Structure 1
C-alpha cells in the first residue's frame, strides 16, 4: 500500500478546513491558495515567517462566532490579526492553523461628543478615530508611530502607546469597554462606559493579552479635547549621559510633558536626510519635549522645561513657533523606523522598559554591546516613561548576522530586567521575546499566566505558543527557576 506523505496529509487537512469555513463564510472571505495567504505569513517582525493553512476575513461578529465554532469542532488553532503592524511576531501564523483577520470590521459605529466616547470596530485604524472626531475638537490620545496603519483591535491586543503616552496613558487608560467573542463562541463585554464596572477588572487583563484570550469585535474609546496650543522644545546634548539625566530631571521637577522623546546621534543622522526635521546631527543626543494646553499653561511649562534642560547641560535649544514646525520636529521621531532602511539592509527593533534614572546607564551598556556583537544600534525611545526602542542594524544576507542581532537584543532585554525594568513596553512578547520571559518571571508567575489563559481558552486554540513560555522552553533556553535542587518535571534536562 502506498504511504501517504506529510504533504498530502496537510493538503487534505487544508481542504477540509477551507471547505468547512466556506460553509459559514462567504467564498471571498476564505483564502487558502499560497499566493493569497503569502501576505499573511508575518507581521512587522519579518524575520520570522510561516504560511498559514487558511486565512479568514469575517465581515461581522456572527461570522466570527461561526468561524470559531468550526475551529473548535476541527481543533484548528487560531491566530488573530489586525493590520499586521506588530513588531513581536504575535500575529505570525501557525502552520496547521488559521489566521483570523478582523480587517473587514472597520466601521466607526457611534461618536458621542458630549460623553467624549467613540464606539468602533477592531479594524478601524488608530488615526481614523481622531480624523472622524476632529470636527468636535476631540481626538484619541494613544498614537503609535504606525498609527496611520495600525488598527484599534491590534492596539488593544498589544496595549499600544505612542509619543504622548507619558501624559495621556496607554491603550489600557483610554479604552472603556471591549466586546469580545470567546473561543467557546460566547459574547462578553468587559469594562463599562460608566466610571467603573462590577466585578473583577477583566478589561485590564484582556488589554495586552496578544490575542490569547478572545477576539475583539467592538471597542469603546475615550476621546479628549484638542489642546488650544502645543509646542515642542528640541534640545541638543553633547553627551548621552547628560541627555538621559535631563529626562529624569524634567520629571523630578514635577513636569509631565505631553511627550518626552530621546534620540541618539546615530538615529538623528539616520533620520535627518530622510525627513529634514532640522535635527542637530552633531549632537550626541536630542530630546523632544512637548507641552500642550492653554496658551498660558504652555508658555509657563516651556519656560520651566527650558530652565531644567539648560541646567542639565543642553548645548542648544529650539522651540517650535508654529504647528507646522512642531510637526516637523516630530516627523523625525515618527519616521525613525523606516529611515533605518536608508543605512542598513535590515534592522531589528527591540522594546524594553527601564526606570528613567537608569537611562544613561543602559545607553552606555548598549554602546558596549555594539562592540561585543560588531553591529550598530540606533536608539530612539519614549524617554519619559523609560520605554526603549533600540534599532539593531544587520544584513540578513551575511551568515550569522541575524543570530548576532538576536543575541544582542536578548542581552539588551536582560539588562533592562537587571536595572529594574521589564522586557516589553508596548510591542508585546509574541514569539520574539518569549525566551526573555524565562529571564524575568519565576515558574510560579508563569504558571499564573497560564492559569489565566486556561480560564479563557481551555483548549489552547487562540494564539498558542505565543507570549508565555512553557517549562520545556525555559529549560532549553537555560533559564529555569529551581527550588532546593528539585525539578517539577524530572524528565527535563538538568543544567
Structure 2
C-alpha cells in the first residue's frame, strides 16, 4: 500500500472555483498548500510531518495537526476518495457535492489503515487563507494551571486556530534546537493562534490574554510580527526532532483524552514514568486533547526498550480510563493492537472483523494489523474497561 501511494504523487488539479484539489495518494501534505497558494487557498490539516507525509497516508491514519481544533481532522476535509478493492474493483467513496447518498463509506474508510482497500485518488477541500493570524505564548508554573487555561478558552466560546501545550522537558529541547524564544523555566507552555477577520482577531487576543492571566499564566506574549509567529510555531513543529537530541531513542505515543482530564493524565504519566525509571516529554494538541508523550530510552541499555514499550501501553490504558482513546491520529497497526482489547469489548471487535471481511474476505490487505482477534486478547490477558475503572489515583484527585 505504501509503495503504491509513494509512486502516485501528482497533483492532478487545483480547482479554485470549487475550492478543492484532486490528488494522487503520494502527494505530500505541504505540497497541497504550496500548489493552492497562488489562489489564496490552503489545505488545513497540518501534521508536524507535513513536509514529508503523504495525503494517502493522512487518509489511512485520519491525520490531524496543530490546526485541527478549528478546522478538523483529515476526515472533515475530504470530499472524495477513489480506491481499489482487494479484487481490483474501482470504487468512488464520497462526492464533490456537500453530501452523497447511502452509507457514509468515506468516513468508514478514513483511518482504516489500509485494511479495506488501496487509495488511488483523493479530493480534498481547500480553504481561503485567513485574513490575519496572531499567536499568543503563555508560560505557566504548573501543568494544572495550563490545563485550566485550555478549558477556560474553550468554555468562553473561543475556538482558536491552534491551541498547543508543551511541558518543561519539551520546551527546553525545542528552545535549544530552534531558539524560538521559549520560556525555559516554565513548567508548561501554551501556544494559542487566533485567525480570521482582523477586528475579530484583535478582540479575541485581548479576551484570551485575560483568560490566560486569570488561569495563572506567569507570562503572556503576543508574537510581534510574522517572523516571530513563525518561530513560535517552528519550535512546536520541531519538538519531536528536538526531543530526539536528548536521548539515543524515543518512543512517540498518541492518545486522546477529554480536555478536562489534562492535569490528571499529566500527573499519571509522571508517576508511571517514575515507576518505569524513564523520562517523558509531553507535546500535544491541547485544544482537542490529542497527546503525544515522548518516552526517552536507550535501546543499547538492557531492558530499556521493553520498559519503554510497557510504559507506552500503560499511558494508553490511562487515556482509556479517563474516557479517552488509544489513538488520535497515529493509528493502531501492530504497536497498539493489545490496547485495542482494552479499548473495545468482544462484541465491538467482532463487528470490526465483520466490516473487514465485507471488504476483504480472505484478509489479504495489511494482515494482522489494527483489529486483534479475540484469541489474542485472551492470551494477552487484556480486558475491556470503562471510564475510571483502572486503579489510577489521579482520577480520584481530579
TM-score using structure 1 length: 0.77
Is the radius of gyration larger for structure 1 or structure 2?
1
- The verdict on how the C-alpha distance between 1:333 and 1:121 changes in structure 2, with shifts beyond 3 A counting, is same
Tell me, in whole angstroms, the C-alpha distance in 2 between the residues paired with 1:151 and 1:336: 20
Listed as ranges, the gaps of 5+ residues in structure 2 are: 386-398
User: 77, 96, 115: which one pairs with 1:174?
Assistant: 77
User: 62, 67, 73: which one pairs with 1:159?
Assistant: 62
Deviations for 1:22-46, whole angstroms, at most 9, x for unmatched residues? xxxxxxxxxxxxxxxxxxxxxxxxx
User: 301, 316, 325: which one pairs with 1:413?
Assistant: 316
Shift of 1:285: 0.2
Q: Does 1:295 align with 2:198?
A: yes
Tell me, in whole angstroms, the C-alpha distance in 1 between the residues paired with 2:26 and 2:309: 31
TM-score using structure 2 length: 0.96
Shift of 1:286: 0.2
Tell me, in whole angstroms, the C-alpha distance in 1 between the residues paired with 2:313 and 2:12: 42
Q: After TM superposition, where is structure 1 displaced by more than 6 Å over at least 4 residues in a row?
A: none
Tell me, in whole angstroms, the C-alpha distance in 1 between the residues paired with 2:347 and 2:116: 20
Tell me, in whole angstroms, the C-alpha distance in 2 between the residues paired with 1:416 and 1:329: 28
Shift of 1:101: 3.2
User: Which residue of structure 2 lines up, in the alignment, with residue 198 of structure 1?
Assistant: 101
User: 329, 336, 339: which one pairs with 1:436?
Assistant: 339
User: 33, 41, 50: which one pairs with 1:147?
Assistant: 50
Deviations for 1:49-81, whole angstroms, at most 9, x for unmatched residues? xxxxxxxxxxxxxxxxxxxxxxxxxxxxxxx21
Tell me, in whole angstroms, the C-alpha distance in 2 between the residues paired with 1:101 and 1:202: 21
- Matched-pair contact (CA < 8 Å) for 2:62–2:74: yes
Tell me, in whole angstroms, the C-alpha distance in 1 between the residues paired with 2:227 and 2:265: 34
User: Which residue of structure 2 lines up, in the alignment, with residue 346 of structure 1?
Assistant: 249
Shift of 1:263: 0.2
User: Which residue of structure 1 lines up, in the alignment, with residue 354 of structure 2?
Assistant: 451
Listed as ranges, the gaps of 5+ residues in structure 1 are: 1-79, 82-99, 483-495
Shift of 1:476: 1.5
User: Which residue of structure 1 lines up, in the alignment, with residue 395 of structure 2?
Assistant: none
Shift of 1:481: 6.0
Alignment RMSD: 1.0
Matches within 5 A, 1:87-236: 100-236=3-139
Q: Does 1:478 align with 2:381?
A: yes
Q: Number of aligned pairs?
A: 385
- Matched-pair contact (CA < 8 Å) for 2:337–2:372: yes
Deviations for 1:338-381, whole angstroms, at most 9, x for unmatched residues? 11121100000000000000000000111111210000000000
User: Which residue of structure 2 lines up, in the alignment, with residue 374 of structure 1?
Assistant: 277
